[in-house]
Amino acid sequence: MTLPATVTSMAESSALTITQQRKRREHVRWASLQHIDAVRPQPMADAALLPLIQAVYPDAGSRELRRELDYLMECGLLTIAEEHETWRLKLTREGIDLVQYTTSCPPGIGRPTATR
């Protein structure tokens, strides 16, 4: 029996330490915000975002990505509109401010420290 890719990647992630898992989650969240910001004012589909995340984490699946996008939505940083099983993603004002370094970064998002 072959497991779907999302299940395989989750099983593989259990081999990572807790710190490595946290860093990966935080980086996926930050990278997602940056990519969504790059296409503003248009919304971005989660299917278009996934290959960009997979460029860094080849084993990332849609389930992992959607879990992190849901977290960002709960933080009020983006909105999700579901259309025919596709998530359309748009940054909120708070999400834009975060990406542009005009507001402090909440815990759980791996935003690099701004350098002057």
Q: Which domains does the chain have, with CATH numbers?
A: 18-99 (1.10.10.10)
Model confidence at 8, pLDDT cuts 50, 70, 90, reads: very low
Tokens representing 24 are 């990966």
Res 38: pLDDT: 98
pLDDT at 7 over 50: no
Q: What is the mean pLDDT of residues 69-90?
A: 97
pLDDT at 67 over 90: yes
Model confidence at 11, pLDDT cuts 50, 70, 90, reads: very low
Q: What is the mean pLDDT of residues 25-31?
A: 98
pLDDT at 101 over 90: yes
Nearest to 40 by CA among 92, 94, 98, 2: 92
The CA distance from 32 to 30, in Å, is: 5
Count how many Cα atoms sit within 13 Å of the Cα of residue 105 in the half-sphere of its side chain.
16
Q: What is the mean pLDDT of residues 76-81?
A: 98
Instruction: Read off the pTM.
Output: 0.85
Let me know: does 86 contact 47? Beta carbons within 8 Å: yes
Peptide bond just before 112 cis, omega within 30 deg? no
